[in-house]
């Protein structure tokens, strides 16, 4: 009975929809804009007060897949650099400085772009991940070619 109560408490806090939002780097307001719905709907879905339409989940899963694919491509490029030159002292990853810049890169907001960087860091070996430095995109010559979705 105690486990059942704990599970119910956690399910209210961590709905599938809310976990997808977090994984994709979207706040409630950013999700509302991205999903083209009102904020109260996103809040209701996040707290499991209303059922999330399948089309909404599909959009979040598509964003998540896009983020994974871009992160995997970036990882491949990073591995090439390491194979050629060794582990850099600082491996710079450029992050969009505002939502407008993130949108020009094909992401709905800075948070979604940041989620790509998070995925890259998680996929790197720990020794390489320790050398990662997040910088404003384009702030140095090495970040001018920041990660773009295809």
Whether 5 shows a pLDDT value over 80: the answer reads no
pLDDT digits (tens, 9 = 90+) for 130-149: 999 999 987 654 544 445 55
**What DSSP assignment string belongs to 107-144?**
-SSHHHHHHHHHHHHHHS-HHHHTTEEEEETTSSGGGT
Domains and CATH numbers, the chain: 2-143 (1.10.3100.10)
- Pair 82, 131: CB distance under 8 Å: no
pLDDT one-digit tens code per residue, 55-79: 999 999 999 999 999 999 999 999 9
Q: What are phi and psi of 40, to 5 degrees?
A: -60, -30
- Residue 96: is its pLDDT beyond 50? yes
pLDDT 10s digits, 7-51? 554 444 578 899 999 999 999 999 999 999 999 999 999 988 999
Write down the pTM of the prediction: 0.82
53 falls in which pLDDT band (50, 70, 90)?
very high
């Amino acid at each position: 009975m105690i486990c059942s109560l704990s599970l119910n408490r956690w399910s209210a806090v961590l709905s599938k929809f809310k976990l997808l939002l977090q994984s994709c780097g979207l706040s409630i307001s950013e999700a509302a804009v991205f999903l083209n719905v009102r904020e109260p709907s996103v809040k209701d879905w996040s707290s499991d007060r209303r059922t999330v339409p399948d089309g909404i989940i599909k959009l979040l899963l598509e964003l998540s897949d896009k983020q994974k694919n871009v992160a995997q491509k970036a990882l491949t490029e990073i591995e090439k650099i390491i194979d050629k030159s060794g582990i850099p002292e600082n491996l710079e990853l450029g992050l969009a400085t505002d939502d407008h810049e993130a949108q020009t890169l094909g992401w709905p907001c800075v948070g979604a772009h940041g989620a790509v960087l998070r995925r890259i860091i998680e996929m790197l070996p720990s020794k390489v991940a320790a050398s990662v430095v997040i910088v404003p995109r384009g702030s140095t010559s090495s970040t001018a070619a920041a990660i773009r979705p295809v």
